[in-house]
A and B are shown apart, each in its own frame.
Chain A
Amino acid sequence: MKFTEKDLQKANEIIARYPADRSKSALLPILHIAQDANGGWLTVEAMDAVAELLKITKIEVYEVASFYSMYNLKPVGKYVFEFCQTGPCNIQGVKDVIKYTEKKLGVKEGEITADGLFSWKRVECLGACGYAPMMQLGEHFKEHLTAEKIDAIIDEYRKKAVALN
């Protein structure tokens, strides 16, 4: 993968926030950019491009990418439902919401729907305990989830995908 001009410019702005000899500090934010530019997951080529950009070794990128849960090292759907399964979300019935979503989408955790649009996974506490059950969807939090809300969200994002094409 190659960074677009726009992404490169964003990456360089980020690098400038840290002391000149500390550009490795930009690794996490730039991995976010690389993942977004690469369909939501990090290929080895994408990680290698980040290593080259920051002038660090490849292993320094791999060991970081594999440590943090937001980096996907396998393909994901265009839209990923990330259900919080911790404490308060558990007592507010996230298990039922997950069961419903699994049936509705017809794919197991980590699998992608045939149209490539959706996948789902369980994650740990997202900091929305008072608005449980909830999930993260891209840069948004979807809170107070119910079966009806899941239906509406799936419809909305199907339409969004059509509009984008």
Chain B
Amino acid sequence: MSRKLLIDKAHIAGIETFEVYRKEGGYQAAEKALKTMTPDEVTEEVKKSGLKGRGGAGFPMGMKWSFLAKPEGVPRYLVCNADESEPGTFKDRFLMEKVPHIFIEGLIISSYALGANTCYIYIRGEYAWIAKILERTIAEAKANGFLGKNILGKGFDLEIYVHRGAGAYICGEETALLESLEGKRGNPRMKPPFPAVKGLYGCPTVVNNVESLTAVVPIINLGGSEYAKIGTEKSTGTKLISASGNINKPGVYEIELGISVEDFVMSYEYCGGIKNGKKLKACVPGGSSVPILPHDLLFKTAKGDTRLMSYESMSDGGFATGSMIGSGGFIVYDEDQCIVENTYNFTRFYRHESCGQCSPCREGTGWMEKVLHRLDNGNGKIEDIDLLWDIQRKIEGNTICPLGDAAAWPVAAAIRHFREEFEWHVTHPKEAMERNYGLRKNIFVAPASA
């Protein structure tokens, strides 16, 4: 049984209230940090923990905090990215909905470490009921002296506000999020300057994901070094994985980083295997942006090592034969799923969500969508496959923000691993339309002994 640190108490009745959360040991980390540690000591523990950002990019959080500029007399901000919009990802929703107090406690400790007296939670507009849960949670924390003026008599003031977005994937990109928080269109900013120097209202700002900031609670409770012992050497701690697609038990799981992918997919503790006795075909392991992996590269790396649920193992082989753990949006595809249709679906998503600032992304996502649409509908040509490859290469790396890369990678990986299926759609248009899934040879057959 894997260790749980974030959602271990989610099953306790009433845990969403201050009273029960406190009785279960809640807010002890906040007391420890504010009463016995300096802000820099808190940051030091976060650095020692080795925690990588849980939003998708995996950047070490302690290092990000250490970049924060601290000029005299200028306010600093902590902004929590709760804009969870990456297809396949629904973990932050679970955390905020089921155990909101541990999340707020994480924000309090993090704001203290950064010297921020105002913290905004930017939550995607569609999570309207969760915004209400958070507002109630904040009010409870305030009524009990953990927010407001002079918290725990330590002279630290903090207000946390919930800010609802209005439907835009791009606002998950930190500079687009800041623009949106300032009441503008979500157009990403040119970097540098980075938000750590010039962020919200031109002030030094740290933007972190919900799960990352919540992990600060166990880091302070255990101490950074103890936390770093959980997981693997390069992937410390636990991670929330939101599993969906053709599996028996879709849902949100907290795993100790480093368990095997096969165990995660097949064991009853997690996904519970492929639904309806079907065979595994492929998996998008970290949200729609990351490369899709065919079954033969999912449980084992190209070198033949067991593939693990960790940052380093999931990316073993680079994009040629690996992928990324990303946001933890784990989508499983069975033998009946069509890779061409799925690639079209994701590309339509990115075309819709492109903010339109950079032409490679604005035009390129539209072109890819058109070409994929005709391939998916049996009207494609063989040259279309190379055309797609060409377009995605010209988007990648040529845009202000990573949305361009996020749109290019799934297309590249689908062609890289499933080229035959694209060709089959061209050579067998009638069958492709009637039975809209690809070549059955791309499926996983469990060994007879299993």
Which of A's residues lie within 8 Å of B, judged by CB?
Answer: 17, 19, 22, 24-29, 31-32, 54, 56, 60, 63-64, 67-71, 85-88, 90-91, 123-132, 136, 139-140
Q: Given the complex, which residues of A lie within 8 Å of B236, measured CB to CB?
A: none
- In the complex, what residues of A have CB within 8 A of residue B159's CB? 17
Q: Could you tell me the distance in whole angstroms from the C-beta of A32 to the nearest C-beta in chain B?
A: 6
How close is B111's CB to chain A, nearest CB, in angstroms?
15
B243's nearest neighbour on chain A, judged by CB, is: A130
Q: Nearest-CB distance from A18 to chain B (Å)?
A: 8
Give the chain A neighbours of B86 by CB distance below 8 A.
125
Interface residues on B, range: 35 or more
Q: Tell me if A71 and B166 are in contact (CB < 8 A).
A: yes
A123: chain B residues within 8 A (beta carbon): 167
Given A87-B288, A88-B245, A130-B251, CB of A26 within 8 Å of CB of B165: no
CB pair B88 A88 closer than 8 Å = yes
Known contacts A87-B342, A129-B90: does B168 contact A24 (CB below 8 Å)?
Answer: no
Q: How far is the CB of A128 from chain B (nearest CB, A)?
A: 6
Known contacts being A24-B182, A90-B342, A130-B244, is A139 close to B333, with CB within 8 Å? no
Known: A86-B288, A124-B169. 18 other contacts (CB 8 A): A24-B182, A24-B183, A25-B182, A28-B165, A54-B183, A71-B166, A86-B346, A87-B284, A87-B288, A87-B346, A90-B342, A124-B352, A124-B353, A127-B85, A127-B89, A129-B90, A129-B245, A130-B244
Q: How far is the CB of A10 from chain B (nearest CB, A)?
A: 12
Contacts of A25 in B (CB 8 A): 163, 181-183
**Is B433 in contact with chain A by the CB < 8 A criterion?**
no
B425 contacts the other chain (Cβ, under 8 Å)?
Answer: no
Q: Which of A64, A86, A125, A139 has the most CB of B within 10 A?
A: A125
Name B residues whose Cβ lies closer than 8 Å to a Cβ of A.
84-90, 93, 124-129, 159, 161, 163-169, 180-186, 201, 242-246, 250-252, 284, 288, 329, 331, 333, 337, 341-342, 345-346, 349, 352-353, 355
CB < 8 Å: which of B124, B164, B166, B181 contacts A127? B124
Q: In the complex, A86→B245 CA distance in Å?
A: 12
Contact B168 A69 (CB under 8 A): yes
Among A24, A70, A91, A129, the residue within 8 A (CB) of B125 is: A70
Chain B residues with Cβ below 8 Å from A64 are 183-185
Q: Contact: A127 with B201, CB < 8 Å?
A: no
Q: Do residues A63 and B129 form an inter-chain contact, with CB atoms below 8 A? A: no
- The interface residues of chain A lying within 8 Å CB-to-CB of B163 are 17, 25, 28-29
Bound CA–CA A11/B326 (angstroms)? 37
Contacts of A86 in B (CB 8 A): 87, 288, 345-346, 349
Which of A32, A68, A90 is close to B345, meaning CB atoms less than 8 Å apart?
A90
Closest 5 pairs (CB-CB, A-B): A27-B183, A68-B166, A130-B250, A69-B167, A129-B244
In the assembled complex, 15 residue pairs joining A and B whose CB atoms fall closer than 8 Å, in A order, are: A60-B183, A64-B183, A64-B184, A64-B185, A67-B185, A67-B186, A68-B167, A70-B126, A87-B284, A88-B87, A125-B87, A127-B90, A129-B87, A130-B252, A132-B250
Q: In the assembly, what is the distance between CA of A17 and CA of B127, in Å?
A: 20
Q: Name which residue of chain B comes closest to A87, CB basis.
A: B87
B201 lies within 8 A of A130 (CB): no
- Are the CB atoms of A22 and B201 closer together than 8 Å? yes
Q: Say how far A91's CB is from chain B's closest CB, in angstroms.
A: 6
Query: Looking across the interface, which residue of chain A has its beta carbon closest to that of B88?
Result: A129
Closest residue of B by beta carbon distance from A18: B161
Are B168 and A140 within 8 A (Cβ)? no
User: Which of chain A's residues has its CB closest to B83's CB?
Assistant: A127
Query: CB distance A126 to B88 under 8 Å?
Result: no
Cα(A140)–Cα(B186), bound, Å: 25
> Contact between B331 and A87 (Cβ–Cβ < 8 Å)?
yes
- CB-CB under 8 A from A28, the residues of chain B are 125, 163-166, 180, 183
Whether the pair B349, A124 counts as a contact (CB closer than 8 A) is yes
Q: How far, in Å, is B1 (CB) from chain A's closest CB?
A: 21
Residues of B within 8 A of A26 (CB): 183
Pair B93/A87 contact, Cβ less than 8 Å: no
In the complex, what distance in Å separates the CA atom of A70 from the CA atom of B85?
14
B181 → A minimal CB distance (Å): 6
Task: Enumerate chain A residues within 8 angstroms of B244, measured Cβ to Cβ.
Answer: 88, 129-130, 132
